[in-house]
Amino acid sequence: MHILQRLLIGLGGLAIFLTVLPIIPSDEAFIRIWDFPRTQVATVLVVALGASMYLLPLRRIPSVVYVSALTGALVWQAYAIWPYTPLHEPQAKALAACEPESRLSLMVANVLVENRNAAPLLALVDRLGPDLVLLVETNNWWDAKLEPLKNSFPHIISHPQEDSYGLHLFSRFELISPQVRFLIDDYVPSIKTGIRLPSGALTTFYGLHPKPPPLHDTDQRDAELLIVGKEIRSEAIPSVVAGDLNDVAWSQTNGLFQEVSGLLDPRIGRGLYTTFNADWPLLKWPLDHVFFEQSFRLLEIDVLEDVGSDHFPLFVSLCHDPASAEVQQQPVPEPSDLNKAEEMIEDGRDEASE
């Protein structure tokens, strides 16, 4: 067999293996991490499939089996990615105009705890003028550097930590009963607060930054997200969830979270809007997220410029429009989804208690 054929079979075989691996129902980080590079694995599959047309004897059964496996793997990857392209119908419907008092704009940014240049981030916030700014990986150094934001944001939740799990929320709007909570671990904080819009409408905001793979298995990350999803399901007030969730948009956990919470994902039907890794041009994934309840309509979503972190900031602008609840389809869970969520929450709590 020619060396190019061997290389082709090895490359394609690896891509097939990495397609099958995350199908395994496991919380192990070395398995779940392969949920992330679906677009990259799909690209390898396309290259391998195209090269097979020229390098392999396609009339032989082994070649037919190999090409069929490549095709099946590519279809599987495309099926996972397809909802996050303009080829799919948008889940969150856009709105062209909105009354100023009903607007809610939000910027989410992982600042990177080792980053020692706050100027680009501060300049971006000043230029963009969002209503809310959620920052994660903030420590005491960042807490001091963020002091200028207090001039524009009178309502602040500050919880710096040195271990990359610190959080800051800056708001132009009144915060109602703000809380810093520890849903799974006593060192992984999250934010829950009510927000009163200028219109007088209330919404509940959740800011999250759970444990990331591959340094940790995913059961605690998944449990934290699903605990919030269950809370939202029982909330009478519309909710918005934002943060660096350390999970890709197309993961099974994100899908289950949407089913349990009923929240909408503005990426569906629009694009990947990759936010990580800012330093690796060929390896980018959508790790930072904003989900919202169906009484909100989308005005804008954008990935912003580099601020010296390994994440790009994500900007989302919403309009609170209760009439939109009738024109946007809310995800609805099956009983099996709720049972699965309960099991995953218990698994996460068990892991945290060990």
Report percent pLDDT > 90 for the chain: 86
Which pLDDT band holds residue 174 (cuts at 50, 70, 90)? Answer: very high
- Please report the pLDDT score of residue 170 as a whole number: 99
Tell me what the pLDDT averaged over the chain comes to.
95
Reference 297, options 139, 98, 108; nearest CA is: 98
Average pLDDT over residues 187-196: 98
Where b means 16+ CB within 10 Å and e means fewer, 261-283 reads bbbbbbbbbbebbbbbbbeeeee
Instruction: Give the model's pLDDT for residue 1.
Output: 57
Half-sphere exposure in the Cβ direction for 229 (13 Å, CA)? 29
- Given a cut of 80, whether residue 257 has pLDDT beyond it is yes
Segments making up each domain of the chain, as ranges: 3-84, 100-348
Mean pLDDT lowest among 80-89, 177-186, 206-215:
206-215
Q: Which of 80, 30, 27, 35 is nearest to 343 (CA)?
A: 27
Please say whether the beta carbons of 288 and 108 come within 8 A.
yes
Q: Residue 261: phi, psi to the nearest 5?
A: -85, -30
Q: Taking 80 as the threshold, does the pLDDT of residue 16 lie above it?
A: yes
Residue type, 63: S
Query: Quick one: fold of 100-348?
Result: Deoxyribonuclease I; Chain A (3.60.10)
**Residue from 242, 178, 217, 226 nearest 351 by CA:** 217
Rounded to the nearest 5 percent, the helix, strand and coil shares of the chain are 40, 20, 40
| pLDDT on residue 326 | 85
Average confidence (pLDDT) over 287-294: 98
Positive or negative torsion for Cα 54, 59, 62, 65: positive
What are the start-end ranges of the H helices in the chain? 3-20, 29-32, 38-55, 61-81, 119-128, 140-145, 219-233, 252-261, 335-353
Q: DSSP state, 212?
A: P
| 244 in Cβ contact with 136 (< 8 Å) | yes
Residue-level pLDDT at 28:
87
Q: Which residues contact 259 (CB under 8 A, 6 or more apart)?
A: 331, 332, 333, 334, 337
**Percentage of residues in the chain having pLDDT higher than 70:** 99
As a whole number of angstroms, the distance between CA 29 and CA 25 comes to 12
Tens of pLDDT along 196-234?
999 999 999 999 999 988 777 789 999 999 999 999 999
Task: Answer yes or no: is pLDDT of 29 > 90.
Answer: no
Separation CA 7–CA 49 (nearest Å): 13
Res. 94 pLDDT band, cuts 50 70 90: very high
Render pLDDT for 139-173 as a digit per residue (tens, 0 to 9).
999 999 999 999 999 999 999 999 999 999 999 99
Closest CA relative to residue 72, chosen from 52, 38, 42? 42
Average pLDDT over residues 101-111: 99
pLDDT mean over 50-68:
90
With residue 132 as reference, give the H or E element that holds it: strand 132-136
- Determine the Cα–Cα distance for residues 100 and 130; give it in Å rounded to an integer: 13
Counts for the chain of helices (H) and strands (E), in that order: 9, 11
User: Do the strands 103-110 and 132-136 form a parallel or antiparallel pair, or are they unpaired?
Assistant: parallel
